[in-house]
Structure 1
Amino acid sequence: MGSLRLTLCTGALAVVALAPAAQAADGREVSVTPSTPAAGADLSLRVTGCEGRTATAVSAAFVADARLTGAGGSLAGETRVRSSIEPGPYDVKITCADVEVQGRITVAADGGGAAPASPAAPVDAGGGWTATHLSAMEPHVAGPGTGHAVTGLVLAGVAATAVVLRRSRRSREAD
């Protein structure tokens, strides 16, 4: 009976371990680059798991609301942190397709070593092919999705069932 209990506990642990992965695959996530911006710095925002092609990011830390665009559930955009803002954490609210996604940024205490927010000299931006093939530059969602998580849960359940059946067959044969 001890091995049956061990098998059931192992199966339960597998389900518990895989359940957060399924939620993360379905969940919405906000990322900020740089992760800890300084006051006055430009920053990039990315949100995954949003339906639609546009979203708006709002925060008291931003100079202006950020407009995020993209496809396939991944939206990205840029904004600037207020230069007069105090260091510390600030909430970010992203609205996409009637759904609100919450995030948080932390403004760094010292911006002395930060790079300038804009170029000091003209930048050769190129052109030609790049301007006509912008669809190739759209963000794409990478990594495992809901299907992968569900497949893992099913396989863990099948393995646990097989072990339980084998153990019960062995115990019947021993009797």
Structure 2
Amino acid sequence: MRAGPLALSAATAAVVLVTVPVATAPAADRGGSVLVSPATVAAGTDVDLRVSGCDGTTGRVRSAAFVAPGVLAPAADRPALIAEARVNSATAAGEYPVEVACDGGDTTIRGTVRVLAHGSAPAPTPTALVHAGGGGAAARLAAHPAPRAVSDGPGTRHAVIGLVLTAIAAVAVAFRSVRRRRSSR
């Protein structure tokens, strides 16, 4: 089954919406990056960190905004490393540097996390793929089904038309084969 242009456009839009809220900071030493998701967060919430560019398979992620350093571990889709960290609930609003120290090398990668003022919440944005596929459309359609035309398949009229067309085709083939036999003599 091939995906049509509409399905491809929807998939592209979903990828854009998923990747928009993620902040990327270039590496200080080499081509690595730190992806903080969500990039803007309220104090006291968790952030996911995805790091690329480390030589080793472990490391630590530190920031003054975090309660404790995040411990990096290999991601399922290597070579990236992933970690989770909690933003301290007493952290004041502002941008805070995030520093990654990679084990197995001298690589240091930097990024930022933006903390919102107390009492404010970030705008809701998707930060992961939706596993349902329809984005909640199934529940809406179940609650308000679209009217359907009642049809049990082709009726008598369609059957008669099909038989007439088949008879015409059979007569045309028979007539053509008779003409060929006469002309080949």
TM-score by length of 1: 0.48
TM-score by length of 2: 0.45
Larger radius of gyration: 2
Instruction: Name the structure with the higher helix share.
Output: 1
